[in-house]
Structure 1
Amino acid sequence: MNKRSSICRIGLVAAIGLLAFQACKKEAKLQPDPPKKDTVATIISPVNDAAPVKTQGFFMDDWKPKLLTINGHTDAPIPIGDAESTVTIFAHDIVNKVSPYLFGNNVNTYMTQVVTEPLLMRHITNLSPKIIRAPGGSVTDLYFWNAQPGKVPADIPAQINVNSATVGVDSTLWYGKNTAAWTLSIDNYYQALLTTNNTGLIAVNYGYARYGTSAHPDQAAAHLAADWVRYDRGRTKYWEVGNENYGIWEAGYLIDTKKNKDGQPEALTGALYGKHFRVFADSMRKAAAEIGVKIKIGAVMTADDVVAGSTIANWNKEVAATAGDAIDFYTVHSYFTPYLESSSAETILNSAHTVSRAIPAYLLASTGTEKPIALGEWNIQAMGKNQAVSNISGLHAAMTLGAIASYKYGLACKWNLANNWANGDDMGMFNNGDEPGASKWNARPAFFYMYYFQKYFGDRMVSSTVSGNNDIKSYASSFSSGHTGTVLVNTGTKDHLVSINFQDFTPGKNYYYYVLNGGTESEFSRKVYINGIGPSGVSGGPTDYSTISPFSDIWGPGSIKVKVPAYGAVFLMAEGK
């Protein structure tokens, strides 16, 4: 879990004071890399449509029709041979509208000032995650958004408990007004959102409600959160109270009762968190009302009974019972694969669906009430063989996006934009400069799979079936511009020919597609190839990814046929008449 950031902490803390931040000029708003040409699309309303469900809720308020434009193409021959699998897409059978907030990511406070890194900013703009969560994992419960280094409220004890260890706050707390080059200030977080045309999801410091030494630490922490809402001035709609507070690794889970003045127990319970959540929510909503905005506030829930090897008993039930209607949405984290295991490719890829399906069911069973679901952090925690930085991680990302769209989540944010190499166990989407042989901000395979998934996945998910080989998975969708197609994933070790048929859809002239696959150097290749074009270095993909034209062919009689490479994916869309 957020032990993932501890490796980089040692070096970062030592570096404080050694690195100076040069004040940056405000950048002009970045635009995605320009397409070759523009075409005008007409919005087409479907025959049947789907209303948002409770697990999507208000996250669908910002749903808009999605229009696909095709800018140039490369002619590609139709594969020779008999198809081993058939995918049938039912264009009028709409599963649900797709939330615009499923493609999010997490920023963190130890990945530079971000706005000072033009290549990173360009990648984020092209990726267009729509939502970027801050301040970043377990940092949340040690984060004082309005403080400068060393200047925190007087009611912070000199030492606190983090992950069952007593640590000094001088080397542990994080500050929103820190302008050193290695960290991210609160103002540059907002500037990064503005520049890349994204919005925020902010988690406020709940741990302070536990380790604070004032007469009412819950009120002091709630006041700090409310002041952040005021400072935010309506820029952020979605807020969370804390981060993984059910975990022993989190600051505030255990406290020194001798320093506490309001009778709190040593270990946090779901009931106490729920009680405090109401205090936070009340203060934050009053602050929002003062500035004339409305916000939604999420409560920290568990995605399962066991998290990071720890059994979490009755947390969700207790939180729901004490916080009740004060909760606008549930926020959960999942790292999909077994904790601290060197998982195989098969285990990793299978988890995308089994875990995504299980979380909504578990939340309903453990709380008794459906609410909108935010998957605030997700990734794989497989380790030991470069799994996290591999093409398999990219495939898992594509499958997870398809799964959470299918199971009707409201919001999701991958962990994270940049982290630390950790001998290949790096969950960062970009190299922050410590990956051997790779250039700084080199994009990892997961970036490319998520980039093309968002590019070629429509605003409505439609049903599809697969017959033939079980290795092939299909995630079909339609655009309001009339295009219909699918993302095909091959979870097997051999290439497969797939034919694609459409029902209730009149095809136009052309279909277009991208093919992504890893290298052959290992099962967990760190490379990804896009339409046969690979990276120039040891990892990642082609640097000119945003200008690579899709493959295309003219729609002839019968079905479309494509080859889906081993451990690869095809992102395909067809024109409609």
Structure 2
Amino acid sequence: MKSIKIAITIILTSVSMFQACKKTSASNNSSGNTTTGPIVKGTDPAVASTQGFFLDNWTAKTWTDPATSIGVSKPSAIGAVNVTVDLSQITTKVSKLIYGNNTNPYMGQYVTEPVLMNNITALSPNILRAPGGSLSDVYFWNADGVNVTAPADAPATLLDNTGTASAANYWFGNNTQTFTVTVDNYYKVLAQTSSTGLITVNYGYARYGTSAHPDQTAAHLAANWVRYDKGRTQYWEVGNECYGNWEAGYRIDVTKNQDGQPAIITGTLYGTHFKVFADSMRAAAAEVGNTNIKIGIVLTSSSDVSNNAGVSNWNANVLAAAGNTPDFYVVHNYYTPYAQNSTAAIILATPQTTSAMMSWINTSVQTAGVSAKPVAMDEWNIQAVGSNQDVSNIAGLHATMNLGEILKNKISMASRWDLANGWGGGDDQGMFNIGDEPGGVAKWNARPAFYYMYFFQKYVGDRVVASSVSGNSDIVSYGSSYTSGEAGVILVNQGSTDHTVAVTFKNFLAGSNYYYYVLNGGTDAVPFSRQVQVNGSGPANGISGGPAGFATMAPLSASISGGINVVVPAYGAVFLVADKQ
């Protein structure tokens, strides 16, 4: 078991999250520290256009001191990196929809898998997207593949980006075989995990369908799903990565097409088709009393010149054609260079490019002259290969930083890709082992990213507040506050050596104790350890994942009096909450 040293020093100045709106005179607090100036209460900013209705169900968080904790001694903070967290400067409210994840049909009928279901429930993703990725564009939700197969106007073969034909390999939402999941079981998963759905309807069919009006036929299929849904789902989107040369419908056989569509998709065509889908789906929603349906349109996350998707001017043409008919904009981001054996430093530098992504979306919207809308980043991950990066502790650190950057950039709905995928020599983006991980690892064993996302949600407040670092660029910090008055900070160490950190909470009147968890990798294959240690406890299997008792594990704690000193471990993170007075 790897030993852990911990050192954060919190220098307490005038601080209070829930004082009256007026400034309050300084006073001595219970920790023995003396505040030295007026306490300033923060003001919630207006909901950003990129957040919109994704923040409608925001709820305040009330902190409860842990029933038990493990007291630790505090090392000196001499030479520490300095972090300042100011509770008076509120950036945004924290949406519960940023912890989402993606399901997919090849997970099997997983509602019957208690280990996985318990893990999903513990993770509390709050939103689960289906049916999943590129398969959405070859998915017929109301067929079973046996008694009811693909429609007669869905061709047996589809073209790839080079024009080569191969079997269509459609997927079916009523297929009850064990290798896939039914639509009804997806709804059961939502109910059992207290999650909200996000459904991607089959847009590809509007391209490769051979009827007289394939766009209308595909839109009718989508609308019938809305009818069957009967108001259970608020969030929908039309197609998956429709700009991509890897998607069904990117290239079609024009000799079979009856409405004059081009061989290669264009943004103008997709934007025009989107309006047909939206009209049909909204009419269907009205029939079943779903008056709050929201439909998203697919955009690129980076410049159309450099996104390697195969279609130029996508965003400009999509938005010009669709106008203001979408309710929200959909983007995907896999951050790291495609199929490269990226180092830890390259991977951990990418979350901060979220701001560039949002700048591109905002520029696209402004240039098109359409209204700003909420943004959903409903697929994100890394795409490094060759060194087990995707299943490693580094992927967990990346997830932590990405959640922080998602919040800072005022995105209020995000879903990681994905719950389970396939080992692929260690290039597995799944959060859980689908059953093919080597070394005798149990099926549905959680990867490190699961633990980092679990503790992020557990120890972030309900508002993001300003946080800054000086002294060493290895440390990244994300400050937060609770409506009930406590202060929090999440610290990530991107470096290969431990760092002592001194944190100053401003405008916060501190109580007696602080509580925290420390996560870091094991000693195997550093920096791409497949293990994660939580407060020094690692996986029982000794191979991958984290400790089985993470949900009931007591946090570390110490008295605030005299400061809080913690060493943030190399390639590790600290999740900390300081009690209020």
| TM-score (norm. length: structure 1) | 0.90
Shift of 1:49: 1.4
What SS is found at the alignment partner of 1:427? coil
- Local SS of the residue matching 2:87: strand
1:498 matched to 2:496? The reply is no
Question: Following the alignment from structure 1 to structure 2, what is the Cα–Cα distance between the partners of residues 121 and 351?
Answer: 31
Q: Does 1:59 find its partner at 2:58?
A: no
Structure whose alpha-carbon radius of gyration is higher: 2
State the superposition RMSD in angstroms: 1.5
Contact 1:394–1:448 (CA under 8 A) maintained in structure 2: yes
Distance change >3 Å, CA 69–CA 163, structure 1 → 2: farther
Give the corresponding residue for 1:76. 72
Any idea what SS the aligned residue of 1:395 has?
helix
Q: Distance in 1 between matches of 2:188 and 2:182?
A: 10
Asked if residue 539 in structure 1 is aligned to residue 538 in structure 2, the reply is no
- Counterparts of 2:197 and 2:472 in 1: how far apart (Å)? 41
Q: Equivalent residues in 2 for 1:140-539 (5 A)?
A: 140-150=136-146, 151-164=149-162, 165-169=164-168, 172-293=169-290, 294-304=292-302, 305=304, 309-354=308-353, 356-368=354-366, 369=370, 370-437=372-439, 438-521=441-524, 522-537=526-541, 538-539=543-544
Q: Corresponding residue for 1:28?
A: none
Q: How many Å separate the matches in 2 of 1:503 and 1:269?
A: 52
Measured after TM superposition, the shift of residue 256 of structure 1 is 0.5
The secondary structure found in structure 2 opposite 1:101 is helix
Secondary structure of the 2:106 match is: coil
> What secondary structure, in the 3-state scheme, does the structure 2 residue paired with 1:157 have?
coil
Q: Quick check: 1:420–1:434 contact (8 Å CA) kept in 2?
A: yes
Distance, in Å, in 2 between the alignment partners of 1:285 and 1:48 is: 37
What's the counterpart of residue 97 of structure 2?
101
Q: What corresponds to 1:30 in structure 2?
A: none
- Once residues 86 and 267 of structure 2 are traced to their aligned partners in structure 1, the CA distance between those partners, rounded to angstroms, is 44
Task: Please tell me the residue identity of whatever aligns with 1:548.
Answer: M
> What letter corresponds to residue 56 of structure 1 in structure 2?
Q
Cα gap change, 1:246 to 1:497, in 2 (>3 Å):
same
The 2-side partners of 1:513 and 1:329 are apart by 37
Pair 44,229 (structure 1): closer, same or farther in 2 beyond 3 Å: farther
For residues 161 and 539 of structure 2, the distance between their equivalents in structure 1, rounded to whole angstroms, comes to 40
CA contact (8 A) 2:77 2:502 kept: no
- CA distance in structure 1 between the partners assigned to 2:326 and 2:379 by the alignment: 19
Q: How many residues align?
A: 532
Give CA-to-partner distance per residue, 1:403-447, whole Å, 9 cap, x none: 010000121000000000000000000000000011111100000
Deviation at 1:203, TM superposition (A): 0.5
| Structure 1 position 70, deviation (Å) | 3.3
Distance of 1:83 and 1:502 partners within structure 2: 18
Give the letter for the 2:52 counterpart.
G
Distance in 2 of aligned mates of 1:485 and 1:306: 41
| Equivalent position of 1:20 in the other structure | none
User: What TM-score do you get using the length of structure 2 for normalisation?
Assistant: 0.90
2-side partners of 1:307 and 1:117: how far apart?
42
* Counterpart amino acid of residue 144 in structure 1: F
Task: Give the residue type in structure 1 aligned to 2:485.
Answer: G
SS of residue in 2 equivalent to 1:462: strand
Distance 1:94 1:136 in 2: 35
Residue deviations 1:299-356 (CA, integer Å, cap 9, x gap): 01100126774454100000000001111111011110001111110000000112x1
Residues 403, 499 of structure 1: alpha-carbon distance in 2 compared, 3 angstrom cutoff: same
Could you say which residue in structure 2 is the equivalent of 1:115?
111
Task: Assess if the C-alpha contact under 8 Å between 2:265 and 2:311 holds in 1.
Answer: no
Structure possessing the higher relative contact order (Cα contacts under 8 Å, 6 or more residues apart): 2
2-side partners of 1:386 and 1:307: how far apart?
A: 27
Which AA in structure 2 matches 1:146? N
Would you say the 8 A contact 2:331–2:378 is kept in 1? Answer: yes
Alpha carbons 2:521, 2:571 under 8 Å: kept? yes
Amino acid at match of 2:56: D
Whole-angstrom CA distance in 1 between matches of 2:365 and 2:189: 36
Listed as ranges, the gaps of 5+ residues in structure 1 are 1-41
Q: Counterpart amino acid of 1:519?
A: G
- Equivalence for 2:135: 139
- Cα drift, residue 388 of structure 1: 0.3
Alignment of 1:557-568 (within 5 A): 557=562, 559-568=563-572
1:87 maps to what in 2?
A: 83
Please tell me whether the aligned partners of residues 417 and 428 of structure 1 are also in contact (alpha carbons under 8 angstroms).
Answer: yes
Cα distance 1:101–1:306, how it changes in 2: closer, same or farther (>3 A)? farther
Structure 2 CA distance, aligned partners of 1:94 and 1:474? Answer: 15
Structure 1 position 166, deviation (Å): 1.4
Q: Deviations over 1:354-389 (max 9, x none)?
A: 2x1111110121232422110010000000000000
SS of 2:445's equivalent in the other structure is: coil
Q: Show the counterpart of 2:32.
A: none
| AA partner of residue 228 (structure 2) | Y
The counterpart of 2:559, out of the listed 542, 546, 554, is: 554
Cα contact 1:84–1:469 (8 A) shared by 2: no
Residues 152 and 212 (structure 1 numbering): CA distance in 2 closer, same or farther, change over 3 Å? Answer: same
Shift of 1:458: 1.2
Which residue identity is paired with 2:332? H
Would you say the 8 A contact 1:112–1:182 is kept in 2? yes
1:237–1:124 distance in 2 versus 1, CA, 3 Å: same
Separation in structure 2 between the aligned mates of residue 278 and residue 132 of structure 1, nearest angstrom: 25
Whole-angstrom CA distance in 2 between matches of 1:348 and 1:531: 24
CA distance in 1, matches of 2:126, 2:75: 36
Partner-residue secondary structure (3-state), 2:421: coil
Secondary structure of 1:235 counterpart = coil
Which secondary structure state, in structure 2, belongs to the residue aligned with residue 253 of structure 1? Answer: coil
1:69 CA drift (Å): 2.5
Q: In the alignment, residue 392 of structure 1 is paired with which amino acid? A: I
Contact persistence 2:42–2:89 (CA under 8 A)? no
The question of whether the paired residues in 2 share the 8 Å contact of 1:43 and 1:65 is answered with no
